């Protein structure tokens, strides 16, 4: 599967090299050389600095500079933990899974380097419950192989550095992708977010300093340490360097993961890599970051895929899971699907998210089933206004942009579903009767 924009894949190296998931094949292709270099030739601060210099930004969605995050970890508090967020549960995102399935050692090497950089000796990889076969199969095998070869365990490369790695499966909750809820879940508590401060960097897992990174982020660390920051900066833009795996889905001919340098226009992803829209229809909207993203109109199709340009265009790069809607899709139906998803996944901790998603779902259902009114359309708008900024964590906040932009772009579709007649037909409810 050649990719005209990249001579060789940086992350999806299994597409270039067969069987790289096997440790012998991986070792034959520079495997664990970055770790050797890091441990033998660099201090932990050097590793952090090279990651800082590379400009790598978190690939989980927020896009926070990774090296800066590592720098927040206090030096004098021990033990420290590295927790990898592999709870890839944003609808439309399936990049981490491919990395762990097919190129696991590059990821594991990145995790060990991260542990070395921040001074942690224990790493937990928290995967979504559906990764059962993966975590009991190839990921565990890869970790076992790494232990056998001495890349994990005591005194790696005969240095003072020791590191252990554990896999942990969640029980199927979207909220556990939120880092503090993930830490709660990992501790055996209910998967609900914690209030911040304190931030995980200071008091995370078991109230110890903890760095939480996404799978793809750490898979990037390995080539950065091996080849250096300048090499990495040849990809992407000034502020968003590197490559990014885009998960493409929706009404395209060839959905799937595509690794592209940051800054590649969306049009290239859809038309060249994704083979265009099914039946040659027109793009109606682009959801660039799964269910939690805004709808970008078809006019934004030439936006370069980097953090800044996407934000400027009213969207966000997020985890780069592009869901493409074409003209055959009803906007209300699509928005309702997302709202229902959030209602199902709301943890129930804070009122605006728990009640707001529940309320939105019932208003959407009413509209779609054809007995909504114009007031219901306005109600949707006020509900999201009442949620925005008031929720405990980002899950509730993520409901807002999708619904808001859907309303902005396709209000006519909402209003065509709402009927004037329904207003007249609404029977007056006998409230007193309903109490008993």
Partner 1 sequence: MSDNVTLTIDGVQVTVPKGTLIVEAAKQIENEIPVFCYHGKMDPVGMCRMCLVEVGQPAIDRGTGKPELDEDGNPVVRFFPKPMTACTTTVSEGMVVKVDTSEAAVDDRKAVLEFLLTSHPLDCPVCDKGGECPLQDLTIRHGPGNSRFDYEDKQHFPKRYPLGDLIVLDMERCIICARCVRFQQEIAFDPVLAIENRGRRAHIVSYSKPGFDSHYSGNTTDVCPVGALTTRDFRFGARAWEMTNVPSLCNHCGVGCNTVLGTRAGTIRRIMPRQNEAVNELWICDKGRFGHHFNGSPDRLTTPLIRKGEELVEATWDEALSLIGEKFGAIKSANGADSLGGIAGARLTNEDLYVFQKLFREIIGTNNIDHRVGLSAALEDETAFTVGVGVGTDLGSVGKGTTILNIGADLDQDAPILYLRVAGASVKRGAHVINAGGRRTKLDAQVQTTLRYNYGSAARLALGLLASVVSQGLVAKEWADSRTSGMADLEKALKNFGADKVAEATGLTTNAIDAAAKAFAEAENGIIIFGLEAGNDPALRAALEALALATGHAGKPNNGVIAVLPHANSRGAIDMGILPDRLPGYKPVESNAGLSAVEMLTAGGVKGLLIAAADPAVESESYKQALQQLDFLVVQELFLTETAQMADVVLPAKGNAERDGSYTNLERRVQTFDMGVPAPGKAWADWLIFTGIAGQLGADWAYASADGVMAEITQRVPLYAGMDFKNLTAPISLQRKTEHYIYEGMSFTTDIREGIQWATVAESDSAPKIPLRFIEPAKASSQEQGLTLVAPRMLYDGGRLLAEADVVNAHILEPQLMLSRSDAQKLGVSTGDSVTVSQNGTAITVPVYIERTVSEGVALLPRNLAGRPAEKLVGPNGLYSTVKVEKS
**50 — phi, psi (to 5°)?**
-70, -35
Integer-rounded Cα radius of gyration of the chain: 23
Using CB under 8 A, pick the residue from 34, 167, 183, 350 that binds partner 1. Answer: 350
Report CA torsion sign: 23, 24, 29, 35.
positive
Helices in 253-368 by DSSP H: which ranges? 266-267, 307-312, 331-345, 351-368
Query: What's the min distance (Å) between Cβ of 391 and partner 1?
Result: 7
Per CB under 8 A, does 225 bind partner 1? no
Please give the Cα distance from 257 to 410 (Å, whole number).
Answer: 29
Structure tokens at 233: 């900066």
Closer Cβ to partner 1, 4 or 427, answer by number:
427
Indicate whether 344 belongs to the interface with partner 1 (CB under 8 A): yes
Pick the binder of partner 1 from 105, 300, 349, 404 (CB under 8 A).
349
Q: List the structure tokens of 192.
A: 């609900």
Torsion angle, alpha carbons of 331, 401, 276, 257, to 10: -130
State which residue, 320 or 417, has the beta carbon closest to partner 1.
Answer: 417
Q: Does 362 bind partner 1 (CB under 8 A)?
A: yes
Stretch that binds partner 1, among 6-14, 77-85, 275-283, 349-357 (CB under 8 A): 349-357
Q: Does 419 bind partner 1 (CB under 8 A)?
A: no
Q: Is 386 in the site for partner 1 (CB under 8 A)?
A: yes
Q: Residue 227: count other Cβ atoms within 10 Å of its Cβ.
A: 16
280: left (phi over 0), alpha (psi -120 to 50) or beta: left
b/e map 145-164, b = 16+ CB within 10 Å? bbeebebbeeebeeeebebe
Binding-site member from 351, 411, 416, 425 for partner 1 (CB under 8 A) = 351
Range in contact with partner 1 (rule: CB under 8 A) among 37-45, 147-155, 305-313, 344-352: 344-352
Span interacting with partner 1, options 47-55, 122-130, 232-240, 342-350, rule CB under 8 A? 342-350
Determine if 429 is a binding residue for partner 1 (CB under 8 A).
Answer: yes
* Residue whose C-alpha is closest to residue 247's, from 288, 192, 199, 204: 288
Residue from 157, 199, 333, 359 in contact with partner 1 (CB under 8 A): 359
Under the binding rule (CB under 8 A), the answer on residue 23 touching partner 1 is no
- Work out the number of other CB atoms within 10 angstroms of the CB of residue 406: 25
What's the DSSP call for residue 387? H
Asked if 184 is part of the footprint of partner 1 (rule: CB under 8 A), the reply reads: no
CB neighbour list of residue 227: distance below 8 Å, 6 or more residues apart: none
The answer to whether 335 and 342 are in contact (CB under 8 A) is no
Stretch touching partner 1 by CB under 8 A, among 81-89, 210-218, 381-389, 417-425: 381-389
Contact 33, 217 (CB under 8 A): no
Is the Cβ of residue 189 or residue 278 nearer to partner 1 in the bound state? 189
Asked if 354 touches partner 1 (CB under 8 A), the answer is: yes
Taking a C-beta distance cutoff of 8 angstroms, is the pair 220, 106 a contact? no
Does 379 help bind partner 1 (rule: CB under 8 A)? yes
Q: Is 346 in the site for partner 1 (CB under 8 A)?
A: yes
Distance, CA of 406 to CA of 335 (rounded, Å): 7
Among 175, 226, 270, 286, binds partner 1 (CB under 8 A): 175
Q: Which is nearer to partner 1, 33 or 365 (CB)?
A: 365
- Considering the rule CB under 8 A, would residue 434 count as an interface residue with partner 1? yes
CB of 169 to partner 1, least distance (A): 18
Q: Does 207 bind partner 1 (CB under 8 A)?
A: no
Considering only the stretches 59-67, 229-237, 315-323, 341-349, report the one whose residues sit in contact with partner 1 under the rule CB under 8 A: 341-349
Q: Using CA atoms, how far apart are residues 241 and 308, in angstroms rounded to an integer?
A: 12
Binding span for partner 1 by CB under 8 A among 114-122, 216-224, 230-238, 387-395: 387-395
Distance CA 97, CA 299 (A): 31
376 burial type by CB count under 10 A (0-12 exposed, 13-18 middle, 19+ buried):
buried
**Site membership for partner 1, residue 355 (CB under 8 A):** yes
**Does 404 participate in binding partner 1 (rule CB under 8 A)?**
no
**Which positions touch partner 1 (CB under 8 A)?**
173, 175, 190-191, 195, 343-352, 354-359, 362, 366, 375, 379, 382, 385-387, 389-392, 429, 431, 434-435
């Amino acid at each position: 599967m050649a990719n005209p924009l990249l001579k060789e894949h940086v992350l999806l190296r299994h597409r270039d090299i067969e069987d790289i998931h096997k440790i012998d094949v991986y070792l034959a292709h520079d495997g664990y050389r970055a770790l050797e270099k890091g441990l033998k030739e660099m201090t932990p601060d050097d590793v952090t600095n090279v990651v800082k210099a590379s400009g790598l930004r978190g690939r989980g969605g927020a896009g926070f500079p990774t090296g800066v995050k590592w720098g927040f970890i206090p030096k004098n508090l021990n033990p420290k933990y590295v927790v990898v967020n592999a709870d890839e549960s944003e609808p439309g995102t399936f990049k981490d899974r491919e990395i762990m399935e097919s190129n696991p050692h590059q990821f594991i090497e990145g995790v060990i380097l991260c542990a070395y950089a921040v001074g942690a000796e224990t790493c937990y990889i928290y995967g979504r419950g559906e990764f059962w076969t993966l975590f009991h199969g190839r990921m565990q095998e890869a970790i076992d192989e790494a232990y056998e070869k001495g890349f994990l365990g005591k005194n790696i490369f005969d240095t003072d550095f020791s590191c252990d790695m554990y896999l942990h499966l969640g029980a199927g909750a979207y909220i556990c992708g939120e880092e503090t809820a993930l830490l709660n879940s990992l501790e055996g508590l209910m998967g609900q977010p914690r209030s911040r401060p304190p931030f995980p960097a200071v008091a995370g897992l078991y109230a110890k300093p903890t760095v939480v990174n996404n799978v793809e982020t750490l898979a990037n660390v390995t080539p950065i340490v091996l080849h250096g920051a300048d090499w990495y900066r040849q990809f992407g833009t000034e502020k968003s360097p590197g490559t990014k795996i885009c998960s493409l889905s929706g009404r395209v001919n060839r959905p799937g993961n595509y690794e592209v340098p940051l800054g590649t226009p969306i049009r290239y992803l859809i038309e060249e890599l994704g083979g265009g829209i099914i039946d040659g229809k027109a793009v109606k909207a682009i959801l660039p970051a799964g269910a939690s993203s805004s709808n970008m109109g078809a006019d934004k199709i030439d936006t370069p895929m980097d953090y800044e340009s996407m934000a400027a265009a009213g969207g966000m790069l997020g985890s780069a899971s592009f869901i493409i809607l074409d003209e055959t899709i009803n906007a209300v139906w699509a928005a309702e699907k997302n709202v229902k998803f959030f209602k199902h996944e709301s943890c129930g901790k804070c009122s605006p998210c728990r009640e707001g998603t529940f309320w939105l779902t019932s208003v959407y259902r009413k509209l779609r089933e054809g007995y909504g009114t114009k007031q219901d359309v306005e109600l949707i708008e006020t509900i999201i206004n009442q949620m925005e900024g008031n929720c405990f964590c980002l899950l509730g906040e993520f409901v807002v942009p999708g619904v808001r932009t859907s309303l902005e772009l396709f209000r006519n579709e909402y209003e065509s579903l709402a009927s004037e007649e329904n207003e007249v037909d609404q029977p007056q409810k006998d409230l007193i009767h309903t109490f008993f």
